[in-house]
């Protein structure tokens, strides 16, 4: 979204404290372009207005945000400033959120790779079975051709015997 408009801008931590929303949620909103923000001198600033007034593009419900706010209420009190330990806890929570996301993605990739390998094995096995069937069918066709020749010669012999 990255919209410039008249109004005051707050750093992430100040916005987080004021509106009781975790920094990691704010970062996700910025990444998803769901919130008005500025990026200056390597820092993000968010328009000083309640979350509900920000235009939301990608996220249809606020249930997950409410759960995160509840989880962080022990970290973020109603204070106007955050202590150094609160900031460290917020950084730790942000890192934990990223780790959880990586751990959730990893089993999916592992499971997908296992499935792919199983499919490859099954496909290879089916191909081998089909090749064996083709070989058996070729043998049977050869046997049937031999049988046809024998029967035709016997038929010719019997015809010559009748005359």
Give the C-alpha separation, 95 to 10, whole Å: 22
Q: What pTM was estimated for this model as a whole?
A: 0.32
| Helices 12-19 & 84-162 angle (0-180, nearest 10) | 90
Tokens of 139: 């043998």
Domain extent for 49: 9-82
Per-residue pLDDT tens digits for 95-150: 556 555 555 566 888 888 889 999 999 999 999 999 999 999 999 999 999 999 99
Per-residue pLDDT tens digits for 20-41: 888 888 888 888 888 888 989 9
Residue 28 domain-assigned (yes or no): yes
How would you label 106-122 residue by residue, b for 16+ Cβ within 10 Å and e otherwise?
Answer: eeeeeeeeeeeeeeeee
Give the total number of structural domains in the chain: 1
Residue 51 domain-assigned (yes or no): yes
């Amino acid at each position: 979204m990255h919209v410039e408009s008249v109004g005051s801008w707050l750093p992430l931590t100040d916005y987080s404290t004021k509106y009781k929303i975790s920094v990691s949620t704010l970062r996700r909103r910025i990444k998803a372009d769901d919130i008005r923000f500025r990026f200056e001198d390597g820092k993000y600033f968010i328009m000083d207005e309640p979350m509900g007034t920000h235009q939301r593009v990608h996220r249809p419900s606020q249930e997950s945000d409410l759960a995160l706010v509840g989880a962080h209420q022990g970290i973020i009190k109603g204070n106007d400033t955050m202590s150094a330990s609160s900031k460290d806890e917020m950084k730790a929570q942000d890192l934990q959120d990223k780790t959880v996301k990586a751990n959730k993605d990893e089993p999916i990739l592992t499971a997908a790779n296992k499935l792919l390998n199983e499919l490859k094995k099954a496909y290879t096995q089916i191909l081998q079975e089909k090749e064996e069937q083709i070989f058996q069918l070729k043998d049977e066709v050869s046997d049937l051709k031999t049988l046809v020749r024998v029967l035709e010669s016997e038929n010719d012999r019997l015809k010559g015997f009748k005359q």
